[in-house]
Amino acid sequence: MNFDENEIISAAMLGFDMIEGPILKNVETFVDNEIDIDYENFLMNFYLSFRGGNSGLKPTAILYDNFYVVAFPRGLELCALFLKPRGIDMKLQRLHEIADEIVYRMDQKDEMRKQIETSTVSQDYDEVKRIIMNMLSGDSLTTPEIRRYFKMTNSEVWKVMSELEEQEQIMRTQKIGRAWAWTLNH
């Protein structure tokens, strides 16, 4: 990366007070009126981004519309350099185009996945009903016993059983503990 010292707009030194938290120690401006920010409030908000976190993932630079900040730690202190983002407009524009293409492809994949799931779910749902009817042929099973055979939640099994009961294909025979036993409605 070609770097020119003239790209530095200003520099700020942040410290950390055990009672007050991050504090602004010093600010030096090299180019007047390039960026209009309240350094004290601005720097306090992203001190933890540069210094905090247990994950070990800490940024070394953050890009804003009119400037970017690069931070260099020294103990609990942090030296933040504010720079002009020269020559980055074209790169960001190209990255935006790439992001749009990626989002479009992801949307297409997501739409295809939803279509497959929808068709699979309706086919699977009808198949589950058919299997349950076969399981209850000449037998009586409770909802938990039926649930063991399928990758379904209790509420999903109840939905199937309620629909079959409404269609008068099955009926409740007895309550065993907290569960209902079901059998075919002859």
Q: What is the pLDDT of residue 1?
A: 42
Q: What is the pLDDT of residue 166?
A: 92
- The helix/strand/coil state of 33 is coil
Q: What is the pLDDT of residue 146?
A: 85
User: Do the two domains 5-89 and 123-186 of this chain adopt the same fold?
Assistant: no
Question: Two tokens at 104?
Answer: 């479009």
Residue 127's alpha-carbon distances to 120, 124, 134, 176, in angstroms, are 10, 5, 11, 27
Q: What is the pLDDT of residue 114?
A: 72
Q: What is the pLDDT of residue 98?
A: 92
139-167 pLDDT, tens per residue? 888 888 888 887 778 888 888 889 999 99
75-132 pLDDT, tens per residue? 888 888 888 887 777 888 888 899 999 998 888 877 777 765 665 555 577 888 888 8
The architecture CATH gives domain 5-89? 2-Layer Sandwich (3.30)
CATH class for domain 123-186? mainly alpha
The mean of the pLDDT values for the chain is 81
CA distance 141 to 180: 8
User: Please, which residues have CB within 8 angstroms of residue 129's CB and are 6 or more apart in sequence?
Assistant: 160, 163, 164
25-79 pLDDT, tens per residue? 898 888 776 677 777 777 766 777 777 655 667 777 888 888 888 888 888 888 8
Entry pTM: 0.52
To which H or E segment does residue 162 belong?
helix 154-166
DSSP secondary structure of 64-117: -SS-EEEEEEETTEEEEEEE--TT-HHHHHHHHHHHHHHHHHHHHHHHHHHHHH
CA distance 78 to 15: 6
Residue boundaries of the structural domains of the chain: 5-89, 123-186
